Each structure stands twice: as structure tokens, then as C-alpha cells.
Amino acid sequence: MTESAPFHQLPGDPLRPATAFWSTADDGIRLRLALWQPGGSPARGTVLLFPGRTEYIEKYAPFAHRLNDAGYAVLAIDWRGQGMSARLQDDPRPGHIGEFSDYQRDVIEMVTAATEMSLPRPWHLLAHSMGGCIGLAALHDGLPVESAVFSAPMWGINLRQFPHRLALALAYLAGRAGKGGRAAPGSGANGTYLVDECFGSNLLTSNIDEWCRLLREALAWPELTIGGATFDWVGKALRECNRLSQMPSPDVPMTVSLGSLESIVSAAAISERVDQWPEARLLHVEGARHEVMMEVPPMQDMFLQATLERFQSA
């Protein structure tokens, strides 16, 4: 029997809460998953929602409800080390990972849960940022979906002017010195981005209402948030992006969105992948920052329409 897990809502939130539950990966890490079910007619399929780094399930509730309204069930996860899933070291604040392939253990639990609950098919992937890196690897491993939609996927990391080789070297040296679990400089240390950053200079969204919602959530539920990435996470994320860049594109129809103001992930890596993915569509969103699902309404609507078109054409 599935053990229920908490699902948070801000006071006055009119949205129907998701059904959250616990699952345990094969290495003993406890994970939190959540399911939003559409009402009325039988679902048209199921969306497996892969969040990004630092994120938690509740963040996607508004967009999940829009997918419900379109007839899709939505299953989301807190990746190991973030949200309400088990943290991976004594200090719960830095975003950490042992091996990047460990995230595939979480994907397996997600697929197992969807199978055991007999969630309606076809299944589709919706992945954001780090979730896009995990999602691409999962597609290579045979993730049973008919189509995929990516939002600003982390197929490369924008380190600004910092050389990738130097970042890899620093991560390696930190690990050798026993400091791989410490937050890397420039990654945000142990703070919370939404609390520490001001709206005007934020890299996530130009939608003040969404920014305020996310800030309220971060202040109300600090235990769901994490801070900067550790040296280990940075080094292993860079190596995973490099590994995936050398692999062919999966045989899955795909749409990917890229905002013109993207500055967190590598726009060049996204463009390069699209060029070598036969059934790919690049959705360029003028004026969008990193999180199109939390952008101003016209941008959200554009992304939702492209997402539904991809799912329905699969």
C-alpha cells in the first residue's frame, strides 16, 4: 500500500491539491511523488513531469492543473537531495549528488509508480532544466514515452566567462580534498535564490505575480528549498552534459523551448541538439527567461499550446 506524503498549499489557494506519496529507490533513498488527476472524462494520457535543480513538486501545481484541464494526468517527483525527498548529506542546504546516474534510480521509481497505478497511456515527458538532462538520459535508457517536451533543458551549463575545464578541475580538486560536498563558489552557497535575489535582476521569470508566489512558497516552506550546488554536483553535471552531447538523439518526437533571455543553461547546446534531432521543434520565446512555465501569461500560453500539440500529434 502506498504511504501518503504531505502536499503543501498556500492559504487561500483554490487549486485542488495533488495526491502525494512516498516511494523508496533501490538504494534506500526515500522519494516524494505527487499525482494530479483530471476530472470528468477519462484522461488522454499521462505527463511525467521532471523538475529542475532546487525545485519541489508544489511549484508546478498551476501548470499541472492546466494540463489536467487539457485531459492529462500529471505525475511529478522531488529528485533525491531536494524538495521533501531524502537529502544526501548532513548539511541539507547544498544541492548535492553522488553520481549523476543516481537520478535514473528516481526515474525508475516514477515509472514503477505510474505502472502500478495504471496511469493512462500514452505517456509523455515534460522536463525542465536539470530535469531535461535527466530526461534525455532516461530517453536513451528506454523511458516509455511517446513524445517529449523540454523547457530550457540543461544540455549544457552557462558558466558565463568561467572556463568549463577550470570548473571541472576545481570540482576534482575539491573532491580529492574531501570538500566535494561543499557549495561551489558562485552557486548561491546555502541561501535561497528567491529570498536572496530581487525581482528586477532575477534570471527566472519576468512575471511579478509568479515571482511573488514562488517567494511566498520559499518563505512558507523553507524546508523544501535548497541552496547552491556542491563541487561534486557541478563536476558531475558538466560531465553528464558532455556525455550526452556525444550521443545520438533518441527516436522520440520532441519540442524544446528556449527563451531569448536564457542565461542559466547553454543556448548553444540546445540549438546543437535540435539540429541533430530529426523530429524536433525549437520554440523560441522572445523575452522569456529561464522558466517559461512561470513566465507572463502569453508566454505560458504559447508554451502550453506547443506542448499540447506535441503530445496530441504523437
Q: What is the DSSP string of 46-107?
A: EEEEE--TT--GGGGHHHHHHHHHTTEEEEEEE-TTSTTSPPSSSS-SSB--S-TTHHHHHH
Q: Tell me the average pLDDT across 52-58.
A: 98
Best CA proximity match to 155, nearest among 124, 176, 132:
132
Residue 12 lies in a domain: no
Helices 130-140 & 231-245 angle (0-180, nearest 10): 50
Residue 14 lies in a domain: no
The CATH number covering residue 34 comes to 3.40.50.1820
The pLDDT of residue 303 is 98
CB count in 10 Å sphere of residue 94: 25
Partnered with residue 275 across adjacent β-strands are: none
Beta strand 30-36 with 72-78 is antiparallel
Total structural domains within the chain: 1
Q: Look at residue 256 and tell me whether its pLDDT is greater than 70.
A: yes
More confident residue, 175 or 105: 105
Identify whether the C-beta of residue 75 lies closer than 8 Å to the C-beta of residue 110. Answer: yes
Best CA proximity match to 21, nearest among 66, 102, 76:
76
How far from chain centre, in Å, is Cα 243? 19
CB count in 10 Å sphere of residue 142: 9
Residue 204 lies in a domain: yes
Cis preceding-peptide flag for 122 (omega within 30 of 0): yes
Tracing cell 542546504 back to the chain, one arrives at 93
- pLDDT band for position 161 (cuts 50, 70, 90): low
Identify whether the C-beta of residue 22 lies closer than 8 Å to the C-beta of residue 39. Answer: no
Residue 1 lies in a domain: no
Q: What is the dihedral of CA 132, 138, 139, 145, to 10 degrees?
A: -90
Read out DSSP for 115-142? HHTTPPSSEEEEEETHHHHHHHHHHHTT
- Backbone region of residue 188 per phi and psi (left: phi > 0; alpha: psi in -120 to 50; beta: other values): left
Structural domain harbouring 148: 19-313
The pLDDT of residue 41 is 73
The pLDDT of residue 136 is 98
Q: Look at residue 44 and tell me whether its pLDDT is greater than 90.
A: yes
Residue 273 lies in a domain: yes
Residue 138 lies in a domain: yes
Q: For 303-314, how does the pLDDT look when each residue is reduced to its tens digit (9 = 90+)?
A: 999 999 999 998
Cβ burial, residue 118 (10 Å; 0-12/13-18/19+): exposed
Q: Look at residue 7 and tell me whether its pLDDT is greater than 90.
A: yes
Q: Tell me the average pLDDT across 193-216.
A: 96
DSSP 8-state assignment for residue 174: H
Residue 5 lies in a domain: no
Share of the chain above pLDDT 70, in %: 98
Residue 166 lies in a domain: yes
The pLDDT of residue 183 is 84
The pLDDT of residue 186 is 65
Tracing cell 563558489 back to the chain, one arrives at 185
Identify whether the C-beta of residue 220 lies closer than 8 Å to the C-beta of residue 8. Answer: yes
How far from chain centre, in Å, is Cα 159? 19
- pLDDT band for position 76 (cuts 50, 70, 90): very high
